[in-house]
Amino acid sequence: PCYAVKAGMRVTRSLEDLINCRGVILGEEDYDWESTLNAAVNFFLSHPLARLIVPNTDSHFLTRTGAVRMAPGALAQLLVYVLAQCGMKLEPVFLGKPYQPIFRHLHTTLERRAARQLRPDRVLLIGDSLEADIRGGNAFGYRTALVLTGVTDIDATLRSNIRPTLIFAVLAAC
C-alpha cells in the first residue's frame, strides 16, 4: 500500500470503506485473514472490473525464527479460486518478481547508479526463491545465484526445471 500512496492513490485499510475502492492491494502485514478475504471476495463479486494488485507471486516465506508464513501470492491464488467457484474470473496484476517490469526498473536503477550501460549478462542476481528471483532473473538475461537460506532448499532445486547459474549452500558456523 505504501507504493499506492507514493503514486498518489488514496489507500484505506478499513473494510467498511472497501465498497468505495477501485481495487485491492494484498500486503504482507499481519491482519485478520478471514474478515479481509471474505470482504475481498464480496467486493470483487459486486465490482467485477476492480483490480487485484499483488506485490509478488511468492506463496510463502520464512520468518527469522524459521516459521513459514503465507505470502500475497498464496492469498491471491485463494481469492482467484474462490471467485472462480462463484463463477467469476479474476486475473491479479503482479508487480514484483518474476515479472519483467520489476527487473527493467532494477536494471535502469543499476545503470543510473553506475553512470553507464550494463549488459544484463554481466549482472549477478542473488535470491532465495527459484520461482520469483531465479526465474525472473534468468528471463531478463541476468546470471543468477540461488542461496539456500530462504524458501528454496536443495531438494526443490533438484526437482525444478529452473536453473540458477550458481548455488550457494549454508555452511555451519564454526
Q: Determine what percent of the chain falls in helix, strand and coil, rounding each to the nearest 5.
A: 45, 15, 40
For 155, the 3-state DSSP assignment is helix
Q: Residue ranges of the alpha helices (H) in the chain?
A: 2-6, 33-46, 72-85, 100-114, 135-140, 154-159
Q: In the structure grid, which three cell numbers stand for residue 78, read together? A: 485463494
Mean pLDDT over the full length of the chain: 89
Q: In the structure grid, which three cell numbers stand for residue 129, read together? A: 526463491
Structure-model confidence comparison of residues 145 and 172, the more confident one: 145
Q: For residue range 6-65, list pLDDT tens digits in order.
A: 878 888 888 999 988 999 988 777 777 789 899 999 999 999 999 999 887 788 887 888
Confidence at residue 166, expressed as pLDDT on a 0 to 100 scale: 96
Confidence at residue 56, expressed as pLDDT on a 0 to 100 scale: 77
Taking the model in full, what pTM does it have?
0.67
**The 3-state secondary structure of 115-137, one letter per residue:** CCCCCHHHCEEEECCHHHHHHHH
Q: For residue range 61-120, list pLDDT tens digits in order.
A: 878 888 888 888 899 999 999 999 999 999 998 888 888 888 998 999 999 999 999 999
CA 51, CA 136: separation in Å to the nearest integer? Answer: 23
